[in-house]
Amino acid sequence: MGSIDSTEITSMRNYPENSVQSEKELHELTQFTIEWAHNNGLILRASEYKTTSDIAEFAPVSLFPSPFPHQAFDQIVAVHTTDRHIREMVKIVREAHEEGIKQPITLVIMRADYMLNSLKDSENDNEQQQQLEVKQIEVNTGAIVALGIDHRTTELHRQVLKRAGLNTLNSPDNVGDTNLAESLFMAWKAFGNSKALMVFLTVPSFGYKFDLHQLACKLKRLSNDQMDIEYVSHKDGQTQLKLGDDFSLLLNGKVVGVIYSCISALGYVITAASMEVRRTIERSTAIKAPSLAHAISSSKKIQQLLAMPGEVERFFPDPADADKVAAIRETFAELWGLDKNDDKTERLIENAIEHPEKYVLKPNRECGGNNFYDEKVSYILMQKLNPTTFKNYFLRPFHEPKLSTVVGELGIYGTLVGNILDGSVQHNVQSGHLLRTKLAGVNEGGISVGTGVGDSPYLF
């Protein structure tokens, strides 16, 4: 990506701390943030009461948008424009295809996650120039939710910047939730039955239920209140979702046009009943968001295979696209499969044991699966990055604001509506982003465990 003067990085690294002049101002900004969040839907179900909407908390959030190099942001946006669980899903996909594809229309919702990797200059101990590179962490095509939270976080941060006397032009627009609603609406119209249901597949303890209601309101407005929307838990789907004689997906006897899965197919607990729900959905005429085939494509094994020489080139065979291929490959972190029993793999494993600080062992599935399996293919070895750090205040319910050293992971959203039989594309849009920020030095960062918050980028 090139070099950025260390003085600019240093000044931006500490801008949140420098923007708060007193404890009184910090308190006022904190209270404004909490009240704005409650009044504008930047809320979650309370952590102790996730099965009910009676009690809400503001979503953990950074007080200021975190610094992010403008050049890196533009580069990321431009690049974007087999354990038992996965074996069972592959089996379902094969069965559905062998039986005949009942629904050619597909809706792909994806988010590609990137991190700023810092390359230290060994010839310059003072680090007057810091080399930064963009590296892709993962691609998610499974359960993509809470885009409204990301939008409202950006709007909140713009208000905080104004109150602190800072420029809001460095805060990029973030309307991924609008694009998601438009894509779901387009898929529903493509189904061709105005009486068909839009179904949100969730779990009883779904923390982002308020955000789902915001999405439902957008869909109601887009459809002039013609769309009927139902929320179904995965457990209830075992009895309420049935396959009709014509392969229609039926919810309590009503035809389902689109089913939007808000829970990850790669992270859900394996049971025979849950797999049967997935099998029923996959075999049906309902438009899936996503289909199991697309969910499987975001497994770490597929990403590792895609990073191998010649694989990206298969999708861009035109020599005129060579620069595009190079730009994509430049963002790939090193990935290694562990499924081969050869000398190269054994040497790799030995090196990882000797130098664990250089590697991360990534599970093939999503949702932080920490189980170990007999098959080595269940894990992918990945280059460990050295993310650039900045300062920011973390705000969490019932906690005082705390200035911390943090690192961020930028996700870019995109949606596509197309026909898998004839290859036609009706809608292909990159819109919206997510910045997830966690405490530096913490391996597993997340809102639920208290080490991460929602954030937005402040470009420099």
438 is in an annotated binding site: yes
369 is in an annotated binding site: yes
CB 366 within 8 A of CB 264: yes
Euclidean distance between CA atoms 53 and 45, whole angstroms: 6
373 is in an annotated binding site: yes
370 is in an annotated binding site: yes
174 is in an annotated binding site: no
β 105-119/129-140 pair status = antiparallel
Phi first, then psi, for residue 31 (nearest 5°) are -65, -40
Euclidean distance between CA atoms 166 and 161, whole angstroms: 5
CA 345 to mean position of chain CA atoms: 30
β 254-261/197-202 pair status = parallel
367 is in an annotated binding site: yes
Phi first, then psi, for residue 76 (nearest 5°) are -65, -45
Euclidean distance between CA atoms 261 and 135, whole angstroms: 28
123 is in an annotated binding site: no
Q: Which of 148, 151, 170, 143 is nearest to 66 (CA)?
A: 170
Classify residue 73 as exposed, middle or buried by CB count within 10 Å of its CB (0-12, 13-18, 19+): buried
87 is in an annotated binding site: no
371 is in an annotated binding site: yes
195 is in an annotated binding site: no
Radius of gyration of the chain (CA): 23
Q: Tell me how crowded residue 398 is: count the other CB atoms within 10 A of its CB.
A: 5
Q: Which of 313-341 are b and which e, b meaning 16 or more Cβ less than 10 Å from the residue's Cβ?
A: eeeeeeeeeeebbeebeebbbebbbbeee
Euclidean distance between CA atoms 34 and 30, whole angstroms: 6
363 is in an annotated binding site: yes
278 is in an annotated binding site: no
What are the tokens at 292?
């199991």
Q: Is 341 helix (H, G, I), strand (E, B) or coil?
A: coil
Question: Which amino acid is it at 187?
Answer: A
457 is in an annotated binding site: no
Give the list of residues 6+ apart from residue 235 with CB closer than 8 angstroms, or none: 203, 204
Classify residue 202 as exposed, middle or buried by CB count within 10 Å of its CB (0-12, 13-18, 19+): buried
Among positive and negative, which fits the CA dihedral 326, 327, 328, 329?
positive
409 is in an annotated binding site: yes
What residues form the annotated binding site for ATP? 300, 362-371, 373, 409, 438, 444
What residues form the annotated binding site for substrate? 436
What residues form the annotated binding site? 300, 362-371, 373, 409, 436, 438, 444
What residues form the annotated binding site for Mg(2+)? 366
